[in-house]
Amino acid sequence: MSAEPAPITRDEVAHLARLARLAVTDEELDVFAGQLEVILGAVARVGEVAAEDIPPTSHAVPLQNVFRPDELRPSLEQERALAGAPAAEDGRFRVPQILGEEA
């Protein structure tokens, strides 16, 4: 069994809050310290359960590639797609500029 992690201090919580640019009250420092202790304890317990003979997984059940094979099929012609557009230019949909950049 692994050693218990050191308790999270108010100073550490305040430091993390500053890094995250969060304004926290003195009361919240105590609450967050307790919550972080619980989270770190849970993570430590998961680490204890993990065995070397069990491979890491991303899903509880095995998955297979569920994509269909690529098949060349007829599609909408460019002219027909642009026919319903409110505005088109040079064979493309014309949309309002949103980033303020020059074209």
Q: Where are the domains of the chain?
A: 10-49
- pLDDT at residue 86, as a whole number: 93
- pLDDT at residue 101, as a whole number: 65
Distance in angstroms (rounded) separating the CA atoms of residues 47 and 14: 27
Single-letter amino acid, residue 63: L
The answer for residues whose C-beta is within 8 angstroms of residue 30's C-beta and 6 or more apart is 10
- pLDDT at residue 74, as a whole number: 93
Distance in angstroms (rounded) separating the CA atoms of residues 48 and 55: 14
The Cα angle at residue 33 between residues 32 and 34, in degrees rounded to 5: 90
- pLDDT at residue 46, as a whole number: 80
Tell me the whole-structure pTM to 2 decimals: 0.45
CATH 1.10.20 assigned to domain 10-49? The reply is yes
The per-residue pLDDT string of the chain (103 residues; one tens digit each, 9 = 90 and over) reads 455 667 888 999 999 999 999 999 999 999 999 999 999 888 888 877 767 777 777 788 887 877 888 899 999 999 999 998 999 999 999 998 888 766 5
